[in-house]
């Protein structure tokens, strides 16, 4: 074979120099992965010529592909340098190797063609601390400093105190420091001042909120279900669990196990069950035409993806359809991993209103107390019946009376049914609870109800009737009941779904149900007075058909009682007498009736409370393991029945722990096993990225062969190992990082640093980056003094432009109803997160849609963001409250301005800022003095009141200044 | 020029010049330029070849219009009306669970008249008289197909190339790949209107940026006071005050830049200026009062009503004039599971004239040659009736196996029909075009080789057109 000119040149070049030895994973593997593995890599499906270049077994003389030390005898080298285009690899249609890449591969073979495992799949090393240098505060700095060694780079000096406290406050708590906190820290000359500050911040509630916010992105948390109708769900109790976990500094291994498998722990506590809801944040669908299994598979795919992204820093999803092209994840590996999740008992087709099973009730403290009290009153009644008996003879007397009445009673005369409706609302609950017109008035069937007329119906009683199929709608039915004499009449009912009954304007029965109508679903009794009574039924439908069933009369008493009642007393058998006596005790004996009513009402109230209990979705597996098959091309309906797979982990990374259960719990234990090569690295890298805006591995979500290599591999391993060895202590690792001199550097870049380390990969300075949208809004609320700093609870619907939900929602299904009062001023992490139409101000600032896992947010800079902070009523309202605060707190321009800058930037105004602001103030005051309406209009932005004792022109002018300060780069940025 | 705008222009230019003078270097300047507008102009080697289209207007008919009743007519349908769908046609294929429980699948011929139009005698329904009038200017693809059978996955699929959420939309890809052609408006604009039929849901992911930088996500324009969210100044703040505020902010920010050398500050100054320009440019764009009566004669009187599909079509043309790269109109209400005869007529009445007018209007302004217009939905509808078939009423279920889309302008053949279905408009018998093929063809007209247009994410070279090998439908090209 002729030697190619390229190869000749390379070999020639080496004879003259002796470069440092190549490192496979750094220098060679990326080239192979980029150019070769697609056809000669782990994926069997696309493999060509049965050749695999990703395994070291390919090296050797026999194979002749890669012969150590002999590039000229190695087929790989001859093929990549071949002079004939037909023979040359990669094939012409693929992207060609550069001469530099050819050179590296050739050198690698010359140096011995040594393979190494991909760094991230290999054990976490125990790197020795680099020596040398006289800079730094802790171990981290020694690693960072060693990265500068060869260049002229030097670390930046420490940032000033005010910058540091603002940086720390945002990084650890997502909030700006107060001016008092800034001053106290700047003036604290004790040696432990910085550490004291860090400890205070790590102990704050806001720390838990800040960490939870990041976790919400990873966990794709939302308040709606995502697909099709994108209906509401309540997963906030899970989010509140995360808040508590971070607040209590739950070790990350426990945090992992409880969220991935809290339900599988022995006798799980309610807390652990709630934690397992992590994977119930999965987007779900309620689309009518879908197939249950198709959706169910989709959810499992999402869980595999999320678990892979969050804990392994790997994208596993390729494995759904085929083997991974680059990383060692075969399709079988994928479905073994999938099989852990495939045991979930939930259905594919889920609800569009509320939580889907499996879920658990979450009573509040009050509800718990109430339920206990009701139980007690039921027990008291039962005790009464056990211990108290009626007067002798009372039963016989009653029987004689009842019998006479039954035999002689004039049956009530029933009028025709009339109906009106449907009256539709956004939710079934609303349709059920709201009076659409006739509930509180005297009914006149010739009058209209909200524009709709009563219509007579020919319905016969004792049959289920269909009333149409309007969703989330109420229909009313009414009729008269005429009695010669007052009497109690029993009623037997059925309804689809919920039902309420009024007699003569008084509600006498209600049942909030979700069911198909059938005969005799509920029984109640009507106390009919003599004369004409007016009966009103309300049937509320949540979906599908609407229906009802109605039957009136003593004949509804259970047969044996009725028969006994009609029987002459002396003819009663003992058994019949006993049945009738029991009936008498509860329905005939006055004390008994009273007690029975107490019990019935307690039970009804219990049902009511139980229904109103908050719930949260949890994980629960089917009792018998579901067999998982490899799905051909990932299609739900193409299981390869000949290829069932057992649950299993990526054994290549770490074998499944001995003795661990073969379920999600075992999977979680595998992930947090101290020998696992990835979980700790991926996790500490995520924390690093949170604090530095960029990970030590810059591809935070990809630790695979295609991802970036760590900028400081030894530091990453040192941090990961330290994290594991210290019990996965999250606050500890964060503290360690922020205590370093590396973290405390100034963020200002000079030209030399910019030129030598433009991306700051070497950490020669602190990063400067724009704050999250949540932090910006929270900062505005905090500096204005309007923040309502309450933790947890359901999502809040804050200001947003009109019509956004309506523009996208299914058949006008869900409308946005803004909250008022306190809820408008809660922290942004509590904003109700509708995933088909996320809150637009936050979305503009890169808050992810959260319909898929995101472990690092983007940080963009767009004109739309400027429009939010300048014009969104939330920010304008905050500006006017901030202005009010400035005016009320200080008396002269300079002090007010300094306070404003201290609030927003932790520094007083610079001379330039003072000059600019004074100029603006003077010009603007003239404008507002001349146009008081404009001033008042500005001060009217938002729902909160202003202090009317303030001069409007001055207040408005300060509002303009406050808005400017809220829009300064320094305010928007963490420095 | 308005003095305020003039000032803003100067500020931007000065900033740029000084940035250069300070020798910040090509890298920083590049990254700043890359972020001065909505588009990232950093070199991605695009376009791969000379484009035919500079911009795209995508008329997306959300909910799936019935190809059976609009374009894909076979005279034989009159004979099969009322008969059971033969098993030889259905071949056991998947139905949605909305009709899979039906025990009868009676075929329904369109309850509308069809006539042949244009030089090539193209069948078009009486419901689309205006579209019928432009058949010689468009290509009609009758053999579109997809795998997704339900709305949410299907609409996600055609807009992002994947049935799973999380991928960027086509408009975001184009914004990312091709950058912006104007300095006053977003690069990718979405407008939503709705008709009279059942509304299927929309999702912001359909115009989202997925893993691409989020400045490439579609910006929703709406009728009313704030055509772009948060566009209007707060009450009491007039343009002069706003200008004063921005000048002050810029001065302080410039000083901050001198101190930190952070290029993001420069970008931020530019973005605030862009926001300010949009406060004028967007209302100008949306204000149709300067349009002559002839516009409304062409698009229909509906176009005078803000928020209608017709008005949005006029705005789309105005955006094309202003070089907005990608305009996507979502029109809702095409999901005719029932009441098809009445509701489909209503849908067509709301859209037909304006759709055709847009093509004619672009043509007479010389814009059609480099503007690609696409009309279509996410899948088709069944030949058989969903629910009871009566003399005057019926419905049709989802049908992914074939549907009709049309394209016009920017190097697309005129007066051409592509692909063919069987007499039941059920199976494709010739020249199938998968939705990924359509997307590959759209990219091709923009000078992009879909296979080479990738973005590395999670260890993969991600593509709009997925991992299968889609094909550019060269037969559609003039």
DSSP one-letter string for A789-814: ----SS-B-----TTHHHHHSGGG--
The rounded distance, in Å, linking the Cα atoms of B249 and B8 is 13
pLDDT at A382: 92
pLDDT at residue number A868: 97
pLDDT of residue A414: 82
Quick one: pLDDT at residue B58?
98
Half-sphere exposure of A769 (CA within 13 A, CB side): 22
The yes-or-no verdict on residue A150 having pLDDT over 70 is no
Contact residues on chain B for A287, CB-CB shorter than 8 A: 150-152
The separation between the first and the last C-alpha atoms of chain A, rounded to the nearest angstrom, is: 61
Residues of chain B with CATH 3.40.720.10: 52-223+306-476
- Range in A282-296, A506-520, B171-185, B349-363 the model is least confident about: A506-520
Which residue has better confidence, B195 or B54? B54
Give the strand pairing for A498-503 and A531-541: antiparallel
Among the listed residues B417, B472, B360, the one whose alpha carbon sits nearest the alpha carbon of residue B74: B417
Instruction: Report CB contact under 8 Å: A228, B201.
Output: yes
Sorted by sequence, the CB contacts under 8 Å of residue B358 that are 6+ apart come out as B57, B59, B299, B313, B316, B317, B373
Q: In the sheet that A465-466 helps form, which strands lie side by side, from edge to edge?
A: A465-466, A547-552, A487-496, A522-528
Q: Is the pLDDT of residue A10 over 80?
A: no
- Give the list of residues 6+ apart from residue B383 with CB closer than 8 angstroms, or none: B68, B77, B80, B85, B107, B108, B396, B399, B424, B425, B426
DSSP code at position A309: I
- CA dist B221 and A527 (Å) reads 60
Tell me which H or E stretch contains B140.
strand B138-145
Q: Do A754 and B261 lie within an 8 Å CB cutoff?
A: yes
Indicate yes or no: CB of B201 within 8 angstroms of CB of A809: yes
Give the closest-approach CA distance of B374 to chain A in angstroms. 21
**DSSP states along B348-400:** HHHHHHHHHHHHHHHHHTT-GGGEEEEEE-S-EEEEEEES---SS--EEEEET
| Residue % of chain B over a pLDDT of 70 | 91
**Chain B residues with CB inside 8 Å of A693's CB?**
none
Mean pLDDT along residues B125-138: 97
Residue B24 confidence (pLDDT) = 32
Strand partners, A533: A481
Class of domain B52-223+306-476: alpha beta
What confidence category does residue B22 fall into, taking pLDDT thresholds of 50, 70 and 90?
very low
For each of the domains in chain A, give its residue range(s) and CATH number, in order of start.
5-116 (no CATH), 412-552 (2.60.120), 768-975 (no CATH)
What the block records as the tokens of A212 is 């939870």
Predicted confidence band of residue A348 (pLDDT cuts 50, 70, 90)? very high
Contact yes or no for A863 and B232 at CB 8 A: no
Q: Return the higher-pLDDT residue of A610 and A955.
A: A955
Tell me what pLDDT residue A317 has.
Answer: 80
B459 with A704: Cβ contact below 8 A: yes
Q: What gap in Å lies between CA B64 and CA B375, rounded to an integer?
A: 11
In angstroms, the separation between the Cα of residue A337 and the nearest Cα of chain B is 18
Task: Count the alpha carbons within 13 Å of B206 in the hemisphere toward its beta carbon.
Answer: 30
Mean pLDDT of all residues belonging to chain B = 88
Question: What's residue A879's pLDDT?
Answer: 98
Report A:761-780 residues touching B (Cβ under 8 A).
768-770
Rounded alpha-carbon distances, angstroms, from residue B135 to A870, B70, B350: 48, 13, 19
β-bridge pairing B114-117 and B395-399: unpaired
CA distance B115 to chain A (A): 33
Please give the pLDDT value at position A402: 79
Range B435-446 average pLDDT: 96
Query: Does the beta-carbon distance from B460 to A325 stay under 8 Å?
Result: yes
**Main-chain dihedrals φ then ψ at residue A260, nearest 5 degrees:** -85, -25
ipTM over the 0.90 cut-off: no
**Contact flag B398-A283 (C-beta cutoff 8 Å):** no
Tell me the pLDDT tens digit for each residue of A381-407: 999 999 998 988 889 888 888 787 777
Determine the pLDDT at residue A918. Answer: 98
Averaged over A944-968, what is the pLDDT? 97
Whether the per-residue pLDDT at B292 is higher than 70: the answer is yes
pLDDT of A4 reads 60
Q: Token pair of B52, please? A: 């035919």
Determine whether B466 is exposed, middle or buried from the number of CB atoms within 10 Å of its CB (0-12, 13-18, 19+). buried
Shortest CA distance to A748 belongs to which of A314, A293, A155, A38?
Answer: A155
Nearest chain A CA: its distance from B291 CA (Å) = 27
For residues A222-243, give the mean pLDDT.
94
The residue among B162, B169, B387, B458 with the most chain A CBs within 10 A of its CB, best to mutate, is B458
Checking if the pLDDT of B174 tops 90, the result is yes
End-to-end CA distance of chain B: 42
- pLDDT-based confidence at residue B28 (cuts at 50, 70, 90): very low
Is residue B13 a contact partner of residue B270, using CB atoms and an 8 Å limit?
A: no
Helix, strand, or coil here: A455? Answer: strand
B135 close to B359: Cβ distance less than 8 angstroms: no
- Interval B257-269: pLDDT, tens: 999 989 889 889 9
Residue B14 pLDDT more than 60?
no
Nearest Cα residue to A591 out of A378, A388, A383: A388
- Give per-residue pLDDT as tens, B229-239: 999 999 999 99
CA atoms within 13 A on the CB side of A521: 22
Chain A residues in contact with B379 by the CB 8 A cut-off are none
Element at A343 (helix H, strand E): none
pLDDT given for residue B258 in this prediction: 93
DSSP letter for A349, please.
B
Q: Do the Cβ atoms of A106 and A74 come closer than 8 Å? A: no
Using the predicted structure, report yes or no on whether residue A284 has a pLDDT greater than 60. Answer: yes
Q: How many CB pairs under 8 A join A and B?
A: 247
Instruction: Decide if B354 contacts B299 (C-beta within 8 A).
Output: yes
B205, B229, B397: residue with CB nearest A851: B205
Per DSSP, the three-state class of A71 is helix
Decide the pairing of beta strands B371-376 and B188-194.
unpaired
Are B25 and A755 within 8 A, CB to CB?
A: yes
Residue linked to tokens 């309540």: A234
CB contact set of A33 (below 8 Å; sequence gap of 6+): A41, A326, A705, A706
pLDDT (mean) for A915-920: 97
Tokens standing for residue A683: 């996790």
Mean pLDDT for chain A?
A: 90
Interface test with B, best of A863, A869, A878, A962 (most B CBs within 10 A): A863
Q: Is A718 helix (H, G, I), strand (E, B) or coil?
A: helix
- Measured between CA atoms, the residue of chain B closest to residue A966 is B249
How far, in Å, CA of B346 to CA of A33, rounded? Answer: 55
Across the range A265-292, mean pLDDT stands at 94
Residue whose structure tokens are 């304008």 = A876
d(C-alpha A913, C-alpha A909), whole Å: 6
How many Cα atoms are found within 13 Å in the side-chain-facing hemisphere of B178?
A: 33
φ/ψ (deg, to 5) at A968: -70, 145
């Amino acid at each position: 074979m002729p030697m190619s000119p390229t190869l000749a040149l390379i070999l020639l070049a080496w004879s003259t120099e002796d470069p440092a030895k190549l490192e496979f994973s750094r220098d060679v593997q990326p080239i192979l992965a980029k150019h070769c593995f697609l056809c000669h890599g782990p994926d069997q499906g696309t493999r060509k010529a049965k050749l695999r270049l990703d395994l070291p077994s390919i090296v050797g003389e026999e194979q002749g592909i890669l012969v150590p030390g002999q590039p000229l005898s190695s087929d790989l080298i001859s093929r990549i340098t071949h002079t004939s285009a037909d023979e040359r690899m990669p094939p012409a249609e693929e992207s060609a190797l550069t001469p530099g890449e050819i050179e590296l591969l050739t050198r690698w073979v010359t140096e011995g063609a040594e393979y190494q495992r991909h760094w991230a799949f290999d054990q976490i090393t125990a790197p020795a601390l680099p020596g040398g240098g006289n800079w730094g505060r802790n171990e981290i700095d020694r690693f960072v400093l060693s990265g500068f060694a060869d260049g002229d780079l030097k670390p930046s000096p420490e940032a000033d105190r005010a910058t540091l406290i603002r940086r720390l406050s945002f990084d650890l708590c997502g909030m700006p420091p107060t001016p008092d906190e800034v001053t106290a820290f700047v003036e604290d000359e004790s040696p432990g001042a910085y550490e004291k500050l860090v400890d205070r911040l790590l102990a704050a509630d806001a720390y838990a909120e800040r960490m939870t916010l990041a976790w919400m992105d990873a966990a794709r948390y939302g308040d709606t279900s995502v697909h099709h109708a994108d209906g509401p769900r309540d997963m906030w109790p899970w989010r509140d669990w995360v808040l508590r976990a971070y607040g209590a500094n739950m070790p990350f291994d426990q945090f992992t196990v409880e969220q991935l498998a809290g339900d599988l722990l022995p006798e799980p506590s309610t807390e652990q069950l709630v934690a397992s809801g992590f994977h119930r944040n999965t987007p779900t669908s309620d689309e009518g035409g879908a197939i249950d299994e198709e959706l169910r598979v989709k959810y499992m795919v999402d869980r595999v993806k999320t678990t892979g992204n969050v804990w392994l820093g790997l994208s596993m999803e390729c494995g759904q359809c085929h083997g991974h092209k680059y990383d060692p994840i075969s399709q079988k590996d994928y479905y073994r991993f999938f099989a852990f999740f495939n045991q979930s008992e939930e259905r594919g087709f889920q609800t569009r209103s509320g939580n889907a099973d499996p879920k658990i009730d979450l009573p509040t403290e009050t509800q718990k107390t109430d339920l206990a009290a009701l139980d007690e009153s039921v027990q008291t009644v039962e005790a009464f019946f056990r211990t108290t008996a009626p007067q002798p003879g009372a039963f016989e007397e009653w029987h004689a009376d009842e019998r006479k009445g039954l035999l002689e009673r004039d049956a009530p005369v029933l009028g025709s049914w009339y109906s009106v409706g449907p009256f539709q609302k956004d939710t079934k609950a609303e349709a059920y609870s709201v009076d659409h017109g006739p509930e509180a008035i005297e009914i006149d069937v010739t009058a209209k109800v909200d524009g709709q007329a009563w219509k007579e119906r020919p319905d016969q009683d004792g049959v289920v009737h269909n009333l149409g199929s309007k969703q989330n709608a109420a229909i009313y039915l009414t009729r008269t009941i005429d009695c010669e004499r007052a009497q109690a009449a029993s009623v037997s009912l059925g309804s689809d779904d919920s039902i309420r009954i009024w007699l003569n304007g008084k509600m006498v029965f209600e049942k909030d149900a979700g069911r198909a109508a059938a005969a005799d679903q509920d029984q109640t009794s009507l106390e009919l007075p003599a004369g004409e009574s007016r009966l009103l039924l309300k049937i509320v439908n949540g979906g599908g058909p609407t229906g009802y069933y109605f039957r009136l009369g003593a004949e509804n008493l259970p047969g044996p009682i009725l028969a006994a009642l009609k029987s002459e007393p002396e003819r009663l058998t003992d058994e019949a007498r006993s049945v009738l006596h029991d009936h008498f005790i509860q329905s005939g004996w006055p004390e008994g009736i009273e007690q029975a009513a107490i019990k019935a009402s307690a039970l009804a109230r219990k049902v009511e409370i139980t229904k109103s209990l908050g719930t949260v979705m949890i994980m629960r597996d089917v009792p018998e393991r579901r067999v998982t098959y490899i799905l051909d091309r990932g299609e739900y309906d193409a299981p390869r029945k000949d290829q069932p797979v057992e649950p299993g982990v990526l054994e290549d990374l770490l074998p499944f722990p001995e003795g661990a259960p073969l379920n999600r719990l075992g999977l979680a234990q595998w992930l947090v096993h101290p020998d696992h090569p990835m979980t700790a690295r991926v996790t500490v890298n995520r924390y690093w990225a949170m604090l530095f805006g960029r990970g030590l591995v810059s591809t935070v979500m990809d630790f695979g062969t295609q991802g970036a290599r760590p900028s400081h591999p030894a530091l990453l391993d040192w941090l990961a190992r330290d994290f594991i060895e210290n019990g996965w202590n999250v606050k500890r690792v964060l503290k360690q990082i922020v205590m370093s001199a590396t973290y405390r550097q100034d963020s200002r870049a000079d030209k030399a640093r910019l030129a030598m380390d433009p991306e700051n990969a070497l950490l020669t300075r602190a990063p400067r980056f724009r704050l999250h949208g949540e932090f910006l809004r929270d900062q505005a609320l905090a500096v204005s003094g309007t923040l309502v700093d309450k933790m947890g609870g359901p999502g809040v619907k804050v200001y947003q432009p009109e019509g956004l939900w309506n523009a996208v929602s299914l058949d006008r299904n869900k409308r946005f109803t803004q909250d008022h009062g306190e809820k408008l001023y809660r922290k942004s992490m509590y904003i109700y997160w509708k995933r088909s139409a996320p809150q637009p101000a936050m979305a503009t600032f890169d808050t992810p849609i959260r319909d898929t896992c995101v472990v690092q947010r983007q940080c963009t800079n767009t004109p739309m963001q400027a429009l939010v902070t300048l014009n969104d009523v939330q920010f304008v309202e905050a500006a006017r409250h901030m202005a009010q605060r400035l005016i009320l707190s200080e008396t002269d321009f300079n002090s007010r301005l300094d306070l404003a800058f201290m609030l927003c930037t932790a520094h007083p105004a610079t001379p330039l800022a003072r000059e600019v602001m004074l100029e603006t103030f003077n010009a603007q005051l003239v404008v507002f003095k001349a146009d008081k309406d404009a001033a008042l209009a500005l001060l009217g932005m938002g729902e909160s009141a202003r202090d009317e004792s303030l001069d409007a022109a001055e207040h408005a002018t300060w509002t303009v200044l406050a808005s400017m300060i809220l829009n300064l780069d320094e305010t928007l940025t963490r420095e | 020029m308005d003095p305020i705008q003039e000032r803003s222009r100067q500020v931007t230019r000065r900033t740029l010049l000084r940035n250069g003078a300070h020798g910040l270097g090509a890298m920083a300047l590049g990254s700043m330029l890359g972020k001065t507008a909505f588009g990232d102009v950093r070199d991605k080697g695009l376009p791969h070849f000379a484009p035919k289209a500079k911009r795209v207007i995508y008329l997306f008919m959300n909910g799936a219009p019935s190809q059976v009743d609009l374009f894909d007519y076979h005279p034989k349908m009159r004979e099969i009306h009322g008969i059971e769908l033969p098993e030889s046609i259905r071949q056991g294929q998947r139905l949605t669970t909305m009709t899979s429980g039906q025990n009868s699948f009676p075929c329904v011929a369109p309850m509308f008249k069809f006539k042949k139009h244009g030089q090539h005698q193209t069948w078009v329904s009486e419901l689309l008289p205006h579209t019928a009038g432009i058949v010689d200017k468009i290509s009609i693809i009758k053999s579109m197909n997809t795998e997704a059978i339900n709305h949410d996955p299907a609409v996600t699929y055609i807009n992002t190339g994947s049935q799973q959420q999380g991928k960027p939309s086509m408009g975001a890809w184009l914004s990312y790949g091709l950058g912006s052609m104007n300095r006053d408006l977003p690069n990718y604009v979405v407008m939503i209107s709705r008709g009279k039929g059942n509304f299927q849901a929309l999702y912001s992911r359909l115009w989202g940026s997925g893993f691409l930088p989020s400045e490439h996500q579609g910006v929703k324009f709406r009728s009313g006071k704030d055509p772009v969210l948060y566009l209007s100044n707060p009450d009491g703040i007039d343009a002069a005050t706003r200008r004063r505020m921005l000048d002050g902010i810029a001065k302080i920010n410039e000083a901050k830049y001198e101190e930190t050398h952070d290029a993001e500050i420069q970008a931020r100054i530019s973005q605030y200026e862009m926001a300010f320009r949009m406060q004028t440019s967007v209302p100008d764009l949306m204000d149709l009062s300067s349009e002559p009566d002839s516009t409304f004669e062409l698009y229909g009187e509906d176009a005078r009503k803000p928020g209608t599909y017709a008005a949005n079509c006029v705005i789309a043309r105005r955006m094309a004039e202003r070089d907005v790269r990608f305009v996507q109109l979502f029109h809702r209400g095409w999901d005719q599971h029932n009441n098809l005869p009445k509701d489909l007529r209503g849908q067509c009445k709301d859209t037909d004239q304006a759709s055709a007018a847009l093509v004619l209007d672009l043509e007479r302004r010389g814009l059609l040659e480099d503007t690609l217009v696409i009309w279509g939905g996410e899948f088709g509808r069944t030949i058989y009736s969903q629910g009871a078939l009566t003399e005057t009423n019926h419905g049709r279920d989802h049908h992914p196996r074939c549907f009709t889309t049309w394209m016009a302008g920017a190097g697309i053949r005129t007066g051409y029909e592509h692909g063919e279905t069987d007499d039941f408009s059920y199976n494709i018998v010739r020249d199938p075009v998968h939705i990924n093929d359509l997307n590959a063809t759209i990219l091709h007209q923009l000078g992009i080789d879909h296979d080479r247009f990738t973005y590395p994410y999670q260890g993969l070279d991600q593509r709009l057109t997925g991992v299968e090998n889609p094909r550019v439908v060269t037969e559609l090209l003039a």
